[in-house]
Structure 1
């Protein structure tokens, strides 16, 4: 982080000087978050074991009893990816509350860095960590039989959609982190992120749900993201049938991610700055 700048006498030029270093300061803040995570063995253990446990649970415990019109491993893998990514991203809320409790936020505000870089650093670090988790999920899935005939462009598209989802959920977690007062309250978002994919097309077709629940499943943000990733990787929809043009579904998925991300991060920055004043 930037510490060698003397802000005395800068006057009205102090604020512009902060914003000129947004990118390097954001990278510095992200590096700090990653170093703290590396020193927490519990978080590292959960990040490594959770994807494996969830994949094994759904494929070997539930998979034999669920009929989706295709191989259940192929059907469920995109859902497990988003489930693990959402849970991992929600931990950003807890990290922000812990930062506030140690007084480090007050030190950051005394330095010539923009407030936004503190929050953006958490978002950047979370995105990096959860892309690693996504890689673990895919590696586990491949080891037990998952195969995809998707080309390079389809894989890039799937990774892009998953990344957009991770960024959006992390921004939502950032808002929770600056509003919540305790780690327990912030941790409640983790439960929501674990629950939301279940009420979607992640693990069962929405057509099998009651009418009132089906409406929720078909019109919440996780479903279009799942449908886009599944369509890109295995070319199937929620009903197990081949999909045609994914353009409309992908547009809805990205619109959800952009809306959640922009609204959440804007609100988080406003609350963070207001508390600082």
Structure 2
């Protein structure tokens, strides 16, 4: 049959010579998952090919743990009566999760200024895939960093003394913590410039890093500061991870950690979603 005859038959008989392929809606759940995975893979490839990101998220945390062990392990262990590595390993995993979120936020700013977010927004993709794909990539990045830090910690004496299930729960805490912090940083990134973002997050990271129970137990701090140190989000997560590895209370610090994470997500999810959409639609 010639092309002319096919066209005439299509117009007259309603015959369609080409098969129709059913495609899911852009708002379908399957589309959201598929497009989120694509965005996640894209970000992971971008980070893997960037030496600065690799250094910040992998090499720097491992070297920091080694330096803390060399300088502080013996004095802290002698003063507290417990191996310091069981506090520094959890602390470094959390610090790495927060520091990596800043790198991701700066990448988000760059994509906004170059117009990449706007180009994605005009394509037939699920509107939420960009943000959820970014959070998925964050979770994978934190997981890889956590495993690397724990591997280095094993060389320095860190062990899972409470069994395999406790080990899995311990690994999951930094991942959840990192995702919650990424929501906070994403919301902040949509409202501030790059320099202000780095300065603000750097100040928060420094305060949380030096006033927590990862270095020394809470009783080593001044009495007027002990309650604040004990209940800040990093201390709750560190205490839970300490209990899941070395031993000690787990339920209370774990519940506090989950409460902090859900509280952060509940407070900053809407600003992050709204800011992400505004950045994609207008580039502002």
- TM-score, with structure 1 as normaliser: 0.84
The residue that corresponds to 1:11 in the other structure is none
Q: Deviations over 1:183-222 (max 9, x none)?
A: 3222232442243132111111121112332232122111
Question: Equivalent residues in 2 for 1:129-168 (5 A)?
Answer: 129-168=141-180
CA distance in 1, matches of 2:41, 2:135: 11
Tell me if structure 1 keeps the 8 A contact 2:40–2:133.
yes
CA distance in 1, matches of 2:40, 2:81: 43
Unpaired segments ≥5 residues, structure 2: 1-24
The residue that corresponds to 2:238 in the other structure is 226
Q: How far off its partner does 1:137 sit? A: 0.6
Q: Secondary structure at the match of 2:27?
A: helix
Q: How far off its partner does 1:272 sit? A: 2.4
The residue that corresponds to 1:195 in the other structure is 207
The residue that corresponds to 2:15 in the other structure is none
Q: How far off its partner does 1:108 sit? A: 1.4
Q: Deviations over 1:66-123 (max 9, x none)?
A: 2222111223221122122221123221111111111111111212223322111111
Q: Deviations over 1:225-271 (max 9, x none)?
A: 11111101110xxxxxxx25x22321111111112123222221022
Tell me if structure 2 keeps the 8 A contact 1:19–1:113.
no
CA distance in 2, matches of 1:121, 1:107: 16
Q: Does residue 73 of structure 1 match 2:77?
A: no
Tell me if structure 2 keeps the 8 A contact 1:169–1:260.
yes
The residue that corresponds to 1:23 in the other structure is 33
Tell me if structure 1 keeps the 8 A contact 2:26–2:126.
no
Q: Secondary structure at the match of 1:180?
A: coil
Q: How far off its partner does 1:157 sit? A: 1.4
The residue that corresponds to 1:255 in the other structure is 259
Unpaired segments ≥5 residues, structure 1: 1-15, 236-242
CA distance in 1, matches of 2:150, 2:162: 14
- TM-score, with structure 2 as normaliser: 0.82
Structure number with larger C-alpha Rg:
2
| Of 104, 120, 130, the match for 2:132 | 120
